Amino acid sequence: MSKIKLIAFDLDGVLVDGNGSWQEVHKGLGTEEMAKIHSEEYYSGKIKFDEWAIKDSSLWHGVEIERIREILYNVHLMPGVSDTIPKLKEKYKIAIISGGLNILAERLKREYGFDHAIANELLVEGGRVSGINQMVDFQGKGRILEGIAGLYGISAGECAAIGDFTNDIPMFRVAGFSIAFNPKNNDILEFADEVIYEKDLRRILEFF
């Protein structure tokens, strides 16, 4: 690991336990059933990811942003976060790259000192949700990791990536080292250097 200079984390399922920030908001607001329809449309190829995100976030139009913040701030962090992130920060640059919601990503950035947090941003007018600014699409994490690495004059090969789902594969492809953390499907395993099947983020410390 001597060449690794930056570690990029997925948010949902890695830093945060539970169903993911999008799903947690749907659950909290009672929009789960409509959201399932949008997911089925996306995974069946009927709509593209951008369309899915717009449709999904439209279910929250007019909702007070503070209500969504309240829901997301009650999500449980992954066990071991408080021990793991400060230790890694002593030696590496650390970043969050997530297809989840930036309200939650920015909270972790503030509380744990992440150098970067890039996630999808809910647009707000008059204190209420009005749309979505899609910062991270389904295939975009590799490109984003390369961009962050470039800020420090390093290559993506000098970065490590930690994720759990197929949208982390583009990040795994370009990173020099990758860990599948409690992977949600088998597709990601082909691209992972190591796999952890335990909900304890401290398990990654043995690799750094």
The two structure tokens encoding residue 147: 């961009």
10 among known catalytic residues: yes
164 among known catalytic residues: no
Reduced DSSP (H G I as helix, E B as strand, rest coil) percent helix, strand, coil of the chain, to 5: 45, 20, 30
Tokens 């335990």 belong to: 198
Question: What is the three-class DSSP state of 161?
Answer: strand
12, 56, 137, 168: the catalytic one is: 12
Strands 159-163 and 116-125, how do they pair?
A: unpaired
Q: Order of strands, edge to edge, in the sheet holding 93-101?
A: 128-133, 116-125, 93-101, 6-9, 159-163, 177-181, 194-196
- The partner residues of 15 in beta bridges, in order of sequence, read none
Catalytic residues: 10, 12
